[in-house]
Amino acid sequence: MRLAVYQCASSPLDVAGNLRRLEATALRAAEQGADLLVCPEMFLTGYNIGAEAVSRLAEPCDGPSAQVIARIAQAAGVAILYGYPERAGAGLVYNAVQLIDAQGQRLGNYRKTHLYGELDHSLFSRGEALDTALIEWQGWHLGLLICYDVEFPENTRRLALAGADLVLVPTANMLPYDFVATTTVRARAYENQFYLAYGNYCAAEGDITYCGLSSVSSPDGTPLAQAGRDEELLLADLDRRVVEQARQQTPYLQDRRPELYGALTAADRSQR
């Protein structure tokens, strides 16, 4: 499978422009043989746009932008994972990502479960669905996370235990947190022995400067593709047999002793 990761500058508040940019990028990725295109967190609207704009631009998962993206995916013949503000019941807005396949079908929607800092908490409700169900796509078992979610090792481990062989992480990672892009995501891939794609912004958006450094990490933690600080379309070829071989050579999942780790999931710290 050939995976494309789109690292780009944010274009805040310009949904129509971002849809046009997505169409051009999807066609470009397809021309280079990509099967799946990953875009950054909140790609549709921009991330650092304020609570009023997030509320105004939020859409349901089957809203008008999703319908346009379904047509883009179908025309390009490539699956697309994109970030957007999702409007749900009771006036809630989530930081979400959605995967639409090359036939224009919505395969899965994920809401960010770990909100980062004052900005995230001022804009979004926290996703509460900790469903480990994976997305089945072309023989792959896909897990979805968003940005800060990947910094919690429990998140990636639960996906690995559910059978993930590829985890997709749209992000809006900013300076000075280069180490997340250069170290943390590679460690997550290695300790769980799956592929991990990390798709970030570059350049600045308001008072935030994004660090770029998008990547695709292999199950042994080495980067198959690594972006710099500027806009770039990464491409990487993935093989599920590499996941199987890695798990046979170093059976981390098999050698776990979960009876020792109960405190990791204890809501009450006194249980530690």
Catalytic residues, by residue number, are 41, 112, 147
d(CA 157, CA 164): 9
For 189, list phi and psi in degrees, rounded to 5: -65, -45
Side-chain half-sphere of 16: how many Cα atoms within 13 Å? Answer: 0
Q: Give me the residue label for tokens 């470009």.
A: 28
On the CB side of 230, how many CA atoms lie within 13 Å of its CA?
A: 0
